[in-house]
A and B are shown apart, each in its own frame.
Chain A
């Protein structure tokens, strides 16, 4: 039985050695597991994360912009609620995004928090509105008011924004900086009566299996 005992000892030793060497495939590779995405000034991020625009950024940025707009004198001191039209945000980053999310959330935040201090005009629904007015004017549908005069309101201000980005990619990872800037433009004078921005930077390194 002595031979069998030695056999087992040797086997165990060899198996342990093999297990030890199992890690050798990654030898010499820096950060084989990658580095988790690091997000500055953010709430939470999911399992699949990138360095681009994500829901937490949207919330952070639009919350900040909505608060900032309400504090501007053009809105806070207005005797009658100014009418605002949202011009689509321009995306100049490297990340394709649903741009309407930004303007929609700012509008929702302002409408819900401003207690009627601003009014938004639904310019993105003009085709539907014009069709409805035409139906009323031609008597095809009933109307509770005189549909003849033009009642569509003009804008006092345009709210618009732009997303710009700067990307760095090296063997240490990918870093993306995004500047979110928004402006309130006086429709009569073209003056920029309010402007604010938010910036978010993220960086990360993918698993060596994908490098």
Chain B
């Protein structure tokens, strides 16, 4: 943020005779009153912008789930979903599916509702509170991932219809994009919606057609007999930062992933895991938010009051140097306007909310395959953009396929470790 240059205040003037009383006006008193007024305004604004309560110290253990829960316990309620999200992603990666389910259900309770008439949201829209005052539910790409991850757990629990419900809500959340081209454009959400329908014995052709229309990559046809569902993810997802003169613009930092694809080698078969969806793309193609408009107005107010303050203080300085009685009065008035404008400008907080679900992946992938019941040793390989195997990331795993033909054996694979 660029700090405005504040012009010098009028130099202290010598005492002058007041015509009405015949007494000399004590100018040091004027200065004292100005100082007191400024102090009072600062106190008032400080009260409006009281900072967060001091956070309890956290004794980190090195266990990401334990530490995440400690962070969640110490976090203000407005950040609860943020920590739920982070812990859930970590829990999925370490195979703690019960923990992931608990956290995602808690997050979806907030994310899935319609939030209105809440005090923190109203504050976030006001001039003197930053956007991050509001309860975090994330940007659309973050909310979509709540549902995407929860759907994986529904598949594990043998509830493809609830998984499908998650995909449908995810696609609806993504319909917020400003440009039609980028609305509801997650390939996997439509593709997996159709897979769930196929598993339920219903028509899935429409969902498959929608998914195919969203990608140039040829999507594999559904195999209702597939009993192993592989969900893979790789690369680092988007991060938020604040841009613009006053940090009023929400922007995304995206770093192209070194890993551009993956594959699973099982029973001498190579199962490709291409990048069907890119969260960096999703984050950066949403377009403008209504909140951006509000933050823009806040920035305009901040800039205008700052300019008014500058002009008034310069005018006060000029008037004070004039030497006449009327000029003195004008100088005091302009100084008051200038000071209050500067204070109002300083107190205005147009900063965009940059709280980020910071352990999301960049790419999402999926494959469905049919394997015989029993244990299957598999090798997971991640490939660079050039098609080279990133050998340091290669993993040897075992997939245990249930003898129950109706069971969907879910395998979750992530390049990210926490």
Task: Report the separation of the CA atoms of residues A208 and B344 in the bound assembly, to the nearest whole angstrom.
Answer: 23
Query: How far apart are the CA atoms of A155 and B56 in the complex, in Å?
Result: 59
Q: Is the CB of A207 within 8 A of B126?
A: no
Known contacts A208-B290, A209-B131; is A3 also within 8 Å of B328 by CB? yes
Q: Which residues of A contact B124 (CB under 8 A)?
A: 209
Say yes or no: B116 contacts A96, CB within 8 Å.
Answer: no
Interchain CB contact under 8 A, A206 and B114: yes
Does A114 make an interface contact (CB < 8 A)? Answer: no
Q: Give the most central of A14, A25, A48, A92: most B CB within 10 Å.
A: A25
Say yes or no: B341 contacts A18, CB within 8 Å.
Answer: yes
B161 at the binding interface (Cβ < 8 Å): yes
CA distance A83 to B172 in the complex (A): 41
Q: Is B175 in contact with A2, judged by CB distance below 8 angstroms?
A: no
Chain B residues touching A, majority SS: helix
A111 at interface (Cβ–Cβ under 8 A)?
no
Residue A82 interfacial (CB < 8 Å): no
Would A34 and B337 count as touching, CB distance under 8 A? Answer: no
Q: Is the CB of A10 within 8 A of B294?
A: no
Instruction: State whether A25 and B150 are in contact (beta carbons under 8 Å apart), knowing that A14-B336, A18-B340, A91-B162 are contacts in the complex.
Output: no
Q: Is there contact, CB below 8 Å, between B291 and A4?
A: no
Q: Quick check: A15 and B340 within 8 Å, CB to CB?
A: yes
The digit string for B67-97, where 1 denotes a CB below 8 A from any CB of A, is 0000000000000000000000000000000
List residues of chain B with CB within 8 A of the CB of A24: 127, 297, 300-301
Q: Across the interface, which residues of A come within 8 angstroms of B290, CB to CB?
A: 29, 208, 211
Q: How many residues of B contact A (CB 8 A)?
A: 67
A4 touches B162 (CB 8 A): no
Number of residues on chain A facing chain B (CB within 8 A): 50
Distance of A21 Cα from B168 Cα, bound (Å): 42
1/0 per position for A63-82, CB-CB distance to B under 8 A? 00000000000000000000
Complex contacts, B150 vs chain A, CB 8 Å: 96
Cβ–Cβ contact A37 & B114, under 8 A: yes
B54 within 8 A of A: no
Does B115 sit within 8 A of A, measured CB to CB?
yes
Known: A25-B294, A25-B297, A26-B294. A6 touches B329 (CB 8 A): yes
> Which residues of chain B have C-beta atoms less than 8 A from A205's C-beta?
114, 116
Cα-based distance from A81 to B198 in the complex (angstroms): 37
B172 touches A167 (CB 8 A): yes
Beyond contacts A14-B340, A48-B113, A208-B121: 9 other A-B pairs, Cβ-Cβ < 8 A, are A4-B30, A21-B344, A33-B121, A34-B117, A91-B161, A174-B172, A207-B125, A208-B125, A210-B291
A residues sitting closer than 8 Å to B (CB atoms) are 1-4, 6-7, 10-11, 14-15, 18, 21-22, 24-29, 32-37, 48-52, 90-97, 99, 167, 169, 174, 204-211
8 inter-chain pairs at a CB distance below 8 angstroms, sorted by A residue, are A4-B30, A10-B336, A18-B305, A22-B128, A24-B301, A25-B127, A25-B301, A207-B118
